[in-house]
Amino acid sequence: MQLHGQAYRVEQITASTWSARAARSLPEGTEKTASLVKAIEKASSCRVTDSSLGAQGTVLNAQVDCGSRLKN
């Protein structure tokens, strides 16, 4: 998916867990995390409630809240 001219790979892991990775390296820091969160929120149409960067800092794993749309 595309967001602000940047390509992201966003995948749904479970009904409430998603992951995102930028196609090219993003600068480390809060902007990187914020960009990955926004990509997940756009792809899932849900709000990210908790997230963490993977061991190498390239993948963001996130829990989302989809309200009444959440299905298991």
Residue with tokens 């390509």: 7
Look at residue 32 and tell me if it is in a domain.
yes
Averaged pLDDT, 27-48 = 92
The yes-or-no verdict on residue 72 having pLDDT over 50 is no
Structural domains of the chain, count: 1
Residue 72 corresponds to which tokens in the numbers above? 């298991």
Look at residue 72 and tell me if it is in a domain.
no
Q: Which domain holds residue 49?
A: 2-67
Look at residue 33 and tell me if it is in a domain.
yes
The predicted model scores a pTM of 0.85
Secondary structure of residue 28 in the 3-state scheme: coil
Residue 31 burial (CB count, 10 A): 10
The yes-or-no verdict on residue 70 having pLDDT over 80 is no
